[in-house]
Amino acid sequence: MIRTSELVYEYPGQRALDRVSFTLAPASITALVGPNGAGKTTLLRCLAALDEPFSGEIEVAGIDVLRQPRDAHRHIGYLPDHFGLYAELSVRRCLLYAGRARGLGGASLEARIGEVATQLEIGSKLDDKAGSLSRGQRQRLAIAQSIIHRPRVLLLDEPASGLDPESRAALSGLMRRLAADGMTLVVSSHILAELEEYCTGMLVMQGGRIAEHRVLDQPAETTMRSVRLRVVQTSEVLAAALADVVSELQIDGTQARFSFSGDDTALAALLAGLIGHGVAVCEFTIEQTTLQDAYLLAVEAGRARA
């Protein structure tokens, strides 16, 4: 759905994007993460056909963004970090304006206004002025404006900034629903714990480059898993039973940690084998690698390469 190749963008004295290339699948939700100044906002603006890179290629929904930016706009929704609303317009008129600006009109636009207002839970606020809304409600209105034309791609720059916990939870649910409807999302944020709730992939940017592109929803059997177990009492049998079937084994008293690359069936057989050898296992846990862990590892690897 999104493909970039060798993107380069420069500000005076600084290269913001340095040969950026990646491909994103349809209906995916990609976390765009990285330190301040890494090039995230510049990349989003280039994808949205708002800034033109010095060189490279961008394709969105099969459209060459650099050659046909207006055609690309019909398929793209974009919410910047610092979005603006017309404070004196009602919510309904804000959505009406956004829809008309994107070529919608008539009864279909009126119906669409009702749909997005319901979807963003601002249906009861349609006659209220935008300037009277709370921070979370303004954020929902801004997102509603960005999806009024049913884009195939939605680009969000810090969408959860300033939201309370309840609004952030609602935003997470919205992201999942949009992806389930076939929309492809790219979400830039520093709140990694929330991104982990709904993202299916991660793009790590560092110094204008892609430090890592990782798919997060791969089947468990395709990845190495970290396992932690605890036994009732120390056992010399434990090390012997695990030595030939696991890697990175660490045993500290009654606790052991190791990496295991087998599928769920093999993992169950491993546990059964330990019990069969008389090891009194009282805890057996798969330790999940969080998005923040993956991000920090990618940043550290990037620094080491540099």
Query: For the segment 105-136, what is each residue's pLDDT rounded down to a tens digit?
Result: 889 999 999 999 998 889 999 999 999 998 88
Give the type of residue at 228. Answer: R
pLDDT of residue 127: 96
Q: Which two tokens stand for residue 240?
A: 């012997």
Q: How confident is the model at residue 301 (pLDDT cuts 50, 70, 90)?
A: low
pLDDT at 217 over 60: no
Residue 104 vs residue 235, higher pLDDT: 104
SS3 23: strand
Please state the φ and ψ torsions of residue 225, each to the nearest 5 degrees: -115, 145
Which range among 31-35, 209-213, 232-236 shows the weakest confidence by mean pLDDT?
Answer: 232-236
**CB neighbour burial string for 105-134, b if at least 16 within 10 angstroms, e if fewer:** eeeebeebbeebbebbbbeebeeebbeebe
What is the spatial distance between Cα 90 and Cα 104, in angstroms, rounded to a whole number?
A: 18
Query: For the segment 249-261, what is each residue's pLDDT rounded down to a tens digit?
Result: 888 888 998 888 8
CB 175 within 8 A of CB 167: no
pLDDT of residue 125: 95
Please state the φ and ψ torsions of residue 86, each to the nearest 5 degrees: -85, 100
Phi-psi region of 122 (alpha: psi -120 to 50; beta: other; left: phi over 0): alpha
SS3 102: coil
Q: Of all residues in the chain, what percent carry a pLDDT higher than 90?
A: 53
CATH of range 2-214; options 3.30.70.360, 3.40.47.10, 3.40.50.300, 1.10.1370.40: 3.40.50.300
The mean pLDDT value for 274-302 works out to: 77
pLDDT of residue 260: 85
> Residue 74: CB partners within 8 Å, gap ≥ 6?
102, 103, 149, 151
The mean pLDDT value for 153-172 works out to: 84
Residue 195 vs residue 92, higher pLDDT: 92
SS3 290: coil
CB 8 within 8 A of CB 18: yes
CB 144 within 8 A of CB 120: yes
- Whole-number Cα distances in Å, 33 to 90, 107, 119, 124, 211: 34, 40, 27, 34, 10
What's the chain's average pLDDT? 88
What are the extents of the domains in the chain?
2-214, 220-287
Q: How many residues are given for the chain?
A: 306
Give me the CATH topology for the region 220-287: Alpha-Beta Plaits (3.30.70)
**Range with the largest mean pLDDT of 96-100, 172-176, 279-283, 286-290:** 96-100
Q: How confident is the model at residue 267 (pLDDT cuts 50, 70, 90)?
A: confident
Residue 211 vs residue 262, higher pLDDT: 211
Which range among 3-7, 190-194, 201-205, 216-220 shows the weakest confidence by mean pLDDT?
Answer: 216-220
pLDDT at 54 over 80: yes
SS3 61: coil
pLDDT at 184 over 90: yes
pLDDT at 160 over 60: yes
User: Which residues on neighbouring strands pair with residue 228, listed in sequence order?
Assistant: 257, 285
Q: How confident is the model at residue 235 (pLDDT cuts 50, 70, 90)?
A: confident
Mode of pairing for the β-strands spanning 184-188 and 153-157: parallel
